Amino acid sequence: AKRLEGKTILVTGASSGIGRSTAKEFARTAPKNLKIILAARRVDTLKEIAQEIKEEVGDGVKVLPAKLDVSNPEEVKNFVSSLPAEFQDIDILVNNAGLVKGVAQAPNIDPQDVDVMFSTNVTGLINMTQAILPIFKKRSEGGRGDIINIGSIAGREPYPGGSIYCATKAAVRSFTDALRKELIATRIRIIEIDPGQVETEFSVVRFYGDKSKADAVYAGCEPLTPDDIAEVIVFAAGRRENVVIADTLIFPSHQASPGAMHRK
Ligand code: NDP
Ligand code: 8X3
């Protein structure tokens, strides 16, 4: 907890699921002198979460709700300079914003779904990284700071009906691995967290808002909770500076691959 004190943390996709839990877990773990920027498109939800954090941990943590669509390159480019000065010196970027759309298989995949998945999960993550890295690189020893990318089991083991989403997460994995190598001479830590099944709004978004289809995904399963993943993210960020939790894969007990699910 002491190692995280005084840090400024930016979480993308903080309005729901893993991002929301991650912001809260950072606040709980280091409730003094922490600054957290909550970024997503639904700014009203971010304001509610900021209030919840304040009620839970008090005023030691400064929380800034900030509207951001990571798939919009202009917004990403101007994001840091649009922040109040006291929030601009970011130490930890959690590249969490991401989504899946549909279960269609080629040749029936909606090109708009292809675009939104790639522009959010891949181009958005790359643009965010490029927007924040110059801040890290100004620090001593070639640079300091953490980039925590949320990949997925889907990026390691593609499955039918998920070809585009899986391809986006494989791209995240490649980008992340190359970046770690590019920054080898610095103190910048490049961390990838790959969850298995987590119950969030993920499946509701996948099925275009159809809650009953989303619920069916988790029927008879015991998925991870977003808090489970948040704990791993905060653990990774809280290690001694010379320790890089480069890569993790996290399943619930009854899962061993996207398709290997034991259902009760
Ligand atoms: P949720 O749908 O609950 O949360 C997704 C978050 O991403 C929301 O806060 C949403 O906010 C935000 N988001 C989506 N598009 C954009 C955008 N263009 N700009 C900014 N923010 C955006 O899902 P999860 O919490 O499950 O997903 C978080 C990450 O975890 C994703 O990268 C996902 O791929 C990954 N993941 C999820 C797994 C799961 O089983 N749930 C497993 C493995 C990985 P808003 O709509 O307000 O913009
Ligand atoms: C989400 C995991 O396997 O449902 O990234 O696509 S999966």
Q: pLDDT (tens digit, 9 = 90+) per residue, 158-202?
A: 999 999 999 999 999 999 999 999 999 999 999 999 999 999 999
Averaged confidence pLDDT in the chain: 97
* Ligand lying nearest the CA atom of residue 14: 1
Tens digits of per-residue pLDDT, 203-218? 999 999 999 999 999 9
Ligand 2 centroid vs 135 CA: distance in angstroms? 32
pLDDT of 43 > 80? The answer is yes
**CB neighbours (10 Å) of residue 198?**
21
Nearest in space to 136 (alpha carbons), one of 173, 96, 168, 182? 182
In whole angstroms, what separates CA 3 from the centre of its chain?
21
In this structure, the chain runs to a length of 264
pLDDT at 21: 98
d(CA 8, CA 30): 11
Nearest Cα to 53, choosing from 71, 36, 72? Answer: 36
Domain-by-domain residue ranges, the chain? 2-250
Give CATH for domain 2-250.
3.40.50.720
Question: What number is the ipTM of this complex?
Answer: 0.98
202 touches ligand 1 (CB under 6 Å): yes
Cα(185) to ligand 2 centroid in Å equals: 33
Expressed in angstroms and rounded, the spacing between residue 100 Cα and the centre of ligand 1 is 8
Q: Counting ligands in written order, which one lies closest to the CA of residue 256?
A: 2
153 lines ligand 2 (CB under 6 A): yes
Tell me, what's the pLDDT at 134?
98
Q: Could you give the CA distance from residue 166 to residue 160 in angstroms, rounded to a whole number?
A: 9
- Long-range contacts (CB closer than 8 Å, 24 or more residues apart) made by 200-205: 200/16, 200/17, 200/18, 200/226, 201/16, 201/17, 202/17, 202/99, 202/100, 205/99, 205/100, 205/101
Split at pLDDT 50, 70, 90, the class of 1 is confident
> Looking at ligand 1, which atom is closest to the CA of residue 121?
32
Please give the Cα distance from 176 to 246 (Å, whole number): 9
% of the chain residues with pLDDT over 70:
100
- Segment 27-39 shows an average pLDDT of 96
Query: Which residues are designated catalytic?
Result: 165, 169
Beta strands in the chain (DSSP E): 8-12, 34-40, 61-67, 92-95, 144-150, 187-195, 247-250
